[in-house]
């Protein structure tokens, strides 16, 4: 059924060349992601996904010509994000928003998009307590922290790695994930070997690896933001000999993100992670997606989660506008259409929860392996329809 629907939508779009459409109001879509500084990879991936989507499906879904308005959030800067959202809404008259990325930015945007009734797709913030709570116009195509932080606890216990050490970055999402994992671990019957919070600026891990060694755990669970902490912690697990001594290394998929796993090198091998998307996902749709993405944007930098989140947000934008064909854009009808929607994405089936607006999706347990000489996150187990709670 889903497939038929998708195919028919695609067929509709294909049959209507942009030029022959009846002139209708254009829709302004704001894209607020970070294009500069150390988080610029996110913006690059968002743009790459948009480029591919529009080359495939045109730029006028349902006769509404899409006008993209791009702004640079520069990273997790709520005051910048707030100003950008305000400008986008009042001056540029943006009707739909992708972003802003990062939790603090999303929180800053929530009251504005509520007042202005701008449907907003969260494509780069994972914290709980935003979607469905801060604004009825927020929805998410990224992931929610519990989806990635919970599953490895029962998985570890099931594999007889019962005594687990928990190491998180010392910032709000880290504390969130730490609590979720430890609760799930206790519920599954595992024991906590110890836990550590790592300063967000930390080039040196040897003191921490020594503590982990002293605790003699079966496994270590790691949550770190994308970037040098992920790189450093995985290198440290390997360099200190913990991994060689048979301690299992696990974590959320951030630590082996495709965009820098090559730099981690062999230290990433055999690391077990949770993820909502891997370019290795085995489906015809994903194979086509990856091939086309790589063809259009080049093989480097490698595709990460920023791209898939933007891709699925656009899928919803296009389908929602298609549904309002010939009518004036109505944000409430649009949100009603998006909520409760289920569709097939390159990452697998996803549903936008009807009551809450957050995402329900498959979570995959992956092992980092070399596929044709390249480090990849290979999915080894599927946990279907994981809740955002």
Partner 1 sequence: MTSIATVLFNGVAYGMLLFIMSVGLSVTLGMMNFVNLAQASFSMFGGYIVVLVVQRLGLPFLVSLPIAFIIVGLFSIVIERLVFRHFYGTDDLTQVLLTIGLVFMSISTASYFFGGTYQRIDMPAWLSGQRDIFGLTLERYRIFIVVSGAILSLVLILGLERTKLGGMVRACVDNPRAANGCGLNTQMIFAVTFAIGGGLAGLGGALSANLLGIDPNFPLRYLVYLLIIVSVGGMGTIGGTLIAAVTLGVADVAGKYYFPSFGGFVIYAITIAVMLWRPRGLLGRTA
Q: Name the residue nearer to partner 1 (CB basis): 180 or 261.
A: 261
Pairing of strands 272-275, 248-252: parallel
The two tokens of residue 124 are 């780069």
Burial of 86 (0-12, 13-18, 19+ CB in 10 A): middle
* SS3 at position 56: helix
Contact call for residue 322 and partner 1 (CB under 8 A): no
What's the per-residue H, E or C state across 277-296?
Answer: CCCCCCCHHHHHHHHHHHHH
Report the residue from 259, 273, 286, 297 that binds partner 1 according to the rule CB under 8 A. 259
Report the residue from 15, 20, 22, 204 that binds partner 1 according to the rule CB under 8 A. 204
332-351 residues near partner 1, rule: CB under 8 A? none
Q: Which residues fall within 8 angstroms of residue 353, CB to CB, at 6 or more apart?
A: 132, 339, 340, 359, 360, 388
Q: Which stretch binds partner 1 (CB under 8 A): 33-41, 305-313, 314-322, 328-336?
A: 33-41
Contact call for residue 296 and partner 1 (CB under 8 A): no
The two tokens of residue 120 are 């907003």
142: nearest Cα among 366, 29, 307? 307
Pairing of strands 191-198, 219-223: unpaired
- Report how far residue 96's alpha carbon sits from residue 119's, in angstroms, rounded to the nearest whole number: 5
Q: Name the residue nearer to partner 1 (CB basis): 26 or 202.
A: 202
Contact call for residue 37 and partner 1 (CB under 8 A): yes
Q: How far is the CB of 44 from partner 1 (least distance, A)?
A: 7
Contact call for residue 300 and partner 1 (CB under 8 A): yes
82-101 residues near partner 1, rule: CB under 8 A? none
Q: How far is the CB of 225 from partner 1 (least distance, A)?
A: 13
Contact call for residue 241 and partner 1 (CB under 8 A): yes
**Under 8 Å between Cβ of 60 and 37:** no
* Residue 85: HSE in the Cβ half-sphere, 13 Å Cα cutoff: 30
What's the per-residue H, E or C state across 222-283?
Answer: EECCCCHHHHHHHHHHHHCCCCCCCCEEEEEHHHHCCCCHHHHHHHHCCCEEEECCCCCCCC
Site string for partner 1, 180-199 (x = CB under 8 A): ----------------xxxx
151-170 residues near partner 1, rule: CB under 8 A? 170
Residues binding partner 1: number (CB under 8 A): 36
Contact call for residue 239 and partner 1 (CB under 8 A): yes
Contact call for residue 179 and partner 1 (CB under 8 A): no
Report the residue from 10, 263, 371, 380 that binds partner 1 according to the rule CB under 8 A. 263
CA 324 to chain centroid, in Å, comes to: 27
Contact call for residue 372 and partner 1 (CB under 8 A): no
53-82 residues near partner 1, rule: CB under 8 A? none
Q: Name the residue nearer to partner 1 (CB basis): 155 or 205.
A: 205
**Residues engaged in binding partner 1 (CB under 8 A):** 37-38, 40-41, 44, 170, 196-199, 201-204, 206-208, 210-211, 213-214, 228, 231-232, 235, 239-241, 244, 259-260, 262-263, 265, 300-301
């Amino acid at each position: 059924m889903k497939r038929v629907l998708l195919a028919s939508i695609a067929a509709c779009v294909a049959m209507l060349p942009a030029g022959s459409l009846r002139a209708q109001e254009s829709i302004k879509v704001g894209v607020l992601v970070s294009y500069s500084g150390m988080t610029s990879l996110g913006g690059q991936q968002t743009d790459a996904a948009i480029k591919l989507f529009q080359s495939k499906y045109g730029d006028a879904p349902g006769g509404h010509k899409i006008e993209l308005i791009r702004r640079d959030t520069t990273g997790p800067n709520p005051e910048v994000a707030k100003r950008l959202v305000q400008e986008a809404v009042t001056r540029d008259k943006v009707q739909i928003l992708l972003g802003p990325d990062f939790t603090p930015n999303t929180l800053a945007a929530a009251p504005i998009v509520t007042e202005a009734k701008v449907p907003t797709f969260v494509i780069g913030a994972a914290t709980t307590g935003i979607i469905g709570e801060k604004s009825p116009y927020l929805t998410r195509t990224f992931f929610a922290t519990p989806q990635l932080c919970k599953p490895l606890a029962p998985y570890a216990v099931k594999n007889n790695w019962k005594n687990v050490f928990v190491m998180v970055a010392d910032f709000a999402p880290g504390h969130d994930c730490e609590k979720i994992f430890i609760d799930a671990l206790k519920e599954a019957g595992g024991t906590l070997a110890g836990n550590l919070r790592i300063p967000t600026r930390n080039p040196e891990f040897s003191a921490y690896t020594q503590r982990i060694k002293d605790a003699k755990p079966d496994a270590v669970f790691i949550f770190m933001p994308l970037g040098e902490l992920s790189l450093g912690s995985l290198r440290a697990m390997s360099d200190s000999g913990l991994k060689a001594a048979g301690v299992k290394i696990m974590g959320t998929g951030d630590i082996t993100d495709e965009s820098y796993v090559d730099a981690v090198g062999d230290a990433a091998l055999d690391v077990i992670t949770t993820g909502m998307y891997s370019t290795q996902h085995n489906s015809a749709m994903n194979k086509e997606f990856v091939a086309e993405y790589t063809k259009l944007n080049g093989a480097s930098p490698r595709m990460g989660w920023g791209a898939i989140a933007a891709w699925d947000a656009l899928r919803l934008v296009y389908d929602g506008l298609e549904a309002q064909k010939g009518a004036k854009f109505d944000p409430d009808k649009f949100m009603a259409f998006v909520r409760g929607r289920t569709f097939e994405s390159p990452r697998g089936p996803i549903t936008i929860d009807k009551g809450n607006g957050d995402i329900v999706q498959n979570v995959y347990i992956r092992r980092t392996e070399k596929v044709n000489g390249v480090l990849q996150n290979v999915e080894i187990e599927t946990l279907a329809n994981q809740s955002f709670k």
